[in-house]
Homo-oligomer: A and B are copies of this chain.
Amino acid sequence: MSLPHAILTALAEKPSSGLELTRRFDKSIGYFWSATHQQIYRELGRLEEKGLIRALPSARPTRGQKKEYEVLPAGRAELTAWVAEAEDPKPVRDALLLRVRAAGVVGAGGLDAELRRHLALHREQLAEYEAIGKRDFPPERDAEQDRLRRLVLRGGIGLESFWISWLDEALTEIEEIGGGRA
């Protein structure tokens, strides 16, 4: 139930149309709450119906015509309440860890290539995060919002760093095992 709040956050940062939101989700918010344009349009409709956001009056309501939304006071209140809500961390569901476990039963044939591929992907993502850090958060910007966004970014960086080091370790391990067999 977090998608509506992801959208409220994005709109509170800057009023946008559905497509603009989609693009921002591809770049920024989507790094920790991804969503497709479909989900976004559907949710914008629901949020408008509930009176949490509204279409800016300038935008006519025809199809194919850009429609900008902004957050209403009720939406801001909803978001404020949600921030303090308790929600347990979702249990991990990671197919790669599962593959390694399955490899213990049927052998690790071909898994090393997949591990290397993931390693490359995570290195890319880490590089992107670090570029964003340099570009968007120079140390002189220090408002509350900047500090919190930097904190979230450090979360992303930490996660990617973890995966990179685990994948390194995994590759070493699997090469050793494979070497002993082949």
Interface residues of A (CB under 8 A from B): 2, 5-6, 8-9, 12-13, 29-34, 76, 79-80, 82-111, 113-114, 117-118, 121-122, 144-149, 151-152, 154-156, 158-159, 162-163, 165-166, 169-170, 173-174, 177
Is the CB–CB distance between A106 and B177 below 8 Å?
no
- Chain B residues within an 8 Å CB radius of A95: 2, 33, 87, 90
Q: Of all chain B residues, which has the CB nearest A160?
A: B92
Oligomeric state, in number of copies?
A: 2
Is the CB–CB distance between A79 and B97 below 8 Å?
no
Identify 26 residue pairs between A and B in the complex whose beta-carbon atoms are under 8 Å apart, listed by A's number. Answer: A9-B101, A30-B91, A32-B98, A33-B92, A33-B95, A80-B107, A83-B99, A83-B103, A83-B107, A83-B111, A87-B95, A88-B121, A92-B156, A92-B159, A97-B155, A100-B148, A104-B144, A104-B145, A107-B144, A108-B144, A148-B173, A151-B170, A151-B173, A154-B169, A155-B170, A162-B162
- Minimum CB–CB distance from A25 to chain B (whole Å) comes to 10
Is the CB–CB distance between B31 and A148 below 8 Å?
no
- Chain B residues within an 8 Å CB radius of A177: 144, 147-148
Is the CB–CB distance between B83 and A13 below 8 Å?
no
Is the CB–CB distance between B169 and A104 below 8 Å?
no
Is the CB–CB distance between A105 and B9 below 8 Å?
yes
Is the CB–CB distance between B158 and A32 below 8 Å?
no
Q: Which of B32, B93, B148 contacts A103 (CB 8 A)?
A: B148
- Minimum CB–CB distance from A43 to chain B (whole Å) comes to 14
Is the CB–CB distance between A33 and B105 below 8 Å?
no
- Minimum CB–CB distance from A169 to chain B (whole Å) comes to 7
